[in-house]
Amino acid sequence: MEIRFHSPYRHWLVGLLAELAVFTGFLAVIALIAYVASLAG
Amino acid sequence: MWVAPQKRDARVIAHYTGILVVGVGLAMIVPLITAVSLGEWDAALDYLFGMGIACAAGMALALVSPPDQPLDRTNALIVTALAWFAASVTAAVPLAVSGNYASYLDALFDAMSGLTTSGLTLVQDLDHMAYSHNMWRHFLHLIGGQGIVVAAVSIAIGLRGGAVSLYIAEGRDEKILPNVMHTSRFIWFVTAVYVTLGTAALAGVNLFSGMEPTRAGLHAFWATVACYDTGGFGPQSMNALYYHSWAFEFVTVLLMIAGTLNFNLHADIWRGDRWEIFRNIEARAWAANVAILSAFAALGLGSTLLFSDTMSVLRKGVYHVLSANTGTGHQTLYTAQWVGDYGGLAMGAVILAMAFGGMASSTAGGIKSLRLGLIVKGVVLRVRESLAPSSAVVRAKFHHLTDRELTPTLLDSALLVFVLYMVTYISGALVGAAYGYPIGEALFESISATANVGLSTGVTSPAMPAGLKILYILQMWAGRLEFVALLTLFASLVISVRRKRSQRS
């Protein structure tokens, strides 16, 4: 029988990294939108 | 029905307010240690004095008024409202005797600004302020942002009956975890992780820029706390402009976004539900809000003389929309540039970003994107109702942590808070204009104070009239509490006065 230990720290670390990835991606999208808008300005 | 507060209610309120005041006094150990470590002996005396006053006054309140009943919801609202004021009055003491403020009122202004995570300041000669005083100003962001009440729940009150009521009154009325203690501990845990990472990253940036290590570390910690707790204080008079670093601005923007994220979303993501952030109405409304306002700011800056290049559009446009919308208030402009060089359209976008605000259950201020999302849903619902056959039942659903139905009660609550914010924004602007400031700048400053942002066109200064200082203190206080707790406090005071008058007559 295999026994697995589930540590909340692994979930939290992955969650933190996921948040940072989403924030960075969001900033990239906003920067692109702002760049395009500035060209029209 | 209006229920007049009884003497035993006053005892409960005084007791819990006293505990919170003692807590603020004990928190002064942090700047005291900073002062002693760095040999700032005058400042150390300021904090010993402040601790003495806070502990004596707080213990007197708490011990003289032993409560003989648990804290109910109404009293919890009053304690919450009073706590911010009592804590500010206490926290202002060491600042007032520091020599960096023209008067006690100016120090009180900064203490309220710090605790409500606003960031407007009346400090003088900031560039030469003692490290320990800067530590206290920024530490106020941390204890205020994470909630004096939550701190009290975690540390002082424990699991006694009042804890849950206090937590709800704080404006964070959704349970993240089943137990209120676990919830406040989770909030502190997420904060500790972000503050540690942010401080390390910014210290690296500062060291790379050539700062000496102690200064680099302290500035990094202060900037991290100011951004993650969406506060906005800075240790330099030029604020974020002082660093002239795109890396500094990138890290601080990440911290601002993390700080404005609803703690429920943090909890969901950290526990494995990664897709909640994409489904959530609040996150969607916030993202759309920032995208649209960034586009308008960029469009406006594109036609200016100074800020039309791509890097300026990002570092002066998008940065300020995010700083405004998250309620942080860090700025990379000289205050005079808002009016002189920034352009009307871009400034309008920043004003709207401040007014709308970040997410609920976070340290951000303003109307909040959850309410805006619900109001937009409500408008769409009304249009659909008017187009549907009379026999049809039209409903609107939204996803916020779970699938929910948009009820008239929810919509009314969102609209009520929206109206209260708008009335306060405009009233403050009119008072500012009455004092002789241009209406645009008065509106900017009024929204900045009420939405706990901290951006300033220069109206907020030690030279501004005392009446305006008091008004902004009230606006920061009211905005932080989203009005209800403060209105409850004033209503109970009015009822008490009326009851006493009727008893005499």
CA–CA dist B52, B93 (Å, integer)? 10
- Count of structural domains within chain B: 1
Residue B232 within a domain: no
CA of B411, closest CA in chain A: separation in Å?
29
Residue B204 within a domain: no
The neighbour count for residue B344, using CB atoms within 10 Å, is: 10
pLDDT of residue B162: 45
Nearest chain B Cα to A22, which residue?
B277
B14 at interface of A, judged by CB pairs closer than 8 A: no
Q: If interface means Cβ-Cβ distance under 8 Å, which residues of chain A face chain B? A: 8, 11-12, 14-16, 18-20, 22-24, 26-27, 29-31, 33-41
Q: Which residues of chain A neighbour B314 with C-beta distances below 8 Å?
A: 31, 34-35
pLDDT of residue B483: 79
pLDDT of residue B184: 72
Q: Do B274 and A35 touch (CB under 8 A)?
A: no
DSSP state for residue B128 in the 8-state scheme: G
Q: Which residues of chain A neighbour B303 with C-beta distances below 8 Å?
A: 41
Most distant CA pair in chain A: distance in Å? 66
> Domain range spanning residue B67?
1-173
User: In percent, how much of chain A has pLDDT > 90?
Assistant: 54
Q: Which residues of chain B fall below pLDDT 70?
A: 1-5, 148-181, 485
CA of B391, closest CA in chain A: separation in Å?
43
Q: Do B310 and A20 touch (CB under 8 A)?
A: no
Residue B361, C-beta contacts closer than 8 angstroms, at least 6 positions apart: B171, B172, B174, B176, B262, B263, B264
Where residue A6 falls among pLDDT bands split at 50, 70, 90? low
CA–CA dist B109, B103 (Å, integer)? 10
Residue B97, C-beta contacts closer than 8 angstroms, at least 6 positions apart: B46, B49, B50
Helix and strand numbers, DSSP H then E, in chain A = 1, 0
Nearest chain B Cα to A33, which residue?
B295
pLDDT of residue B170: 47
Residue B49 within a domain: yes
Residue B485 within a domain: no
Residue B158 within a domain: yes
Q: Do B269 and A19 touch (CB under 8 A)?
A: yes
pLDDT of residue B176: 45
Q: Do A23 and B254 touch (CB under 8 A)?
A: yes
All structural domains of chain A with their residue ranges? 7-40
pLDDT of residue B166: 46
Alpha helices for B261-328 (secondary structure H):
263-270, 276-279, 281-302, 310-312, 319-325
Q: Which residues of chain A neighbour B187 with C-beta distances below 8 Å?
A: none
CA distances (Å), origin B473, targets B78, B206, B498: 18, 33, 27
CA–CA dist B367, B446 (Å, integer)? 14
Nearest CA to B267 among B195, B171, B198, B191? Answer: B191
Nearest chain A Cα to B261, which residue?
A19
Q: Which residue has the higher pLDDT, B228 or A10?
A: B228
The per-residue b/e assignment along B33-67, b for 16 or more CB within 10 angstroms, e otherwise, is: ebbeebebeebbebbeebbebbbebbeebbeebeb
Where residue A2 falls among pLDDT bands split at 50, 70, 90? low
Burial of B496 (0-12, 13-18, 19+ CB in 10 A): middle
pLDDT of residue A24: 96
Residue B325 within a domain: no
User: Residue A25: is its pLDDT beyond 90?
Assistant: yes
Q: For an interface test with A, give the residue of B299, B307, B347, B350 to mutate (most A CBs within 10 A).
A: B299
Residue B240 within a domain: no
Q: Which residues of chain B neighbour A31 with C-beta distances below 8 Å?
A: 314, 318
Nearest chain A Cα to B260, which residue?
A23
Residue type, position B334, single letter: Y
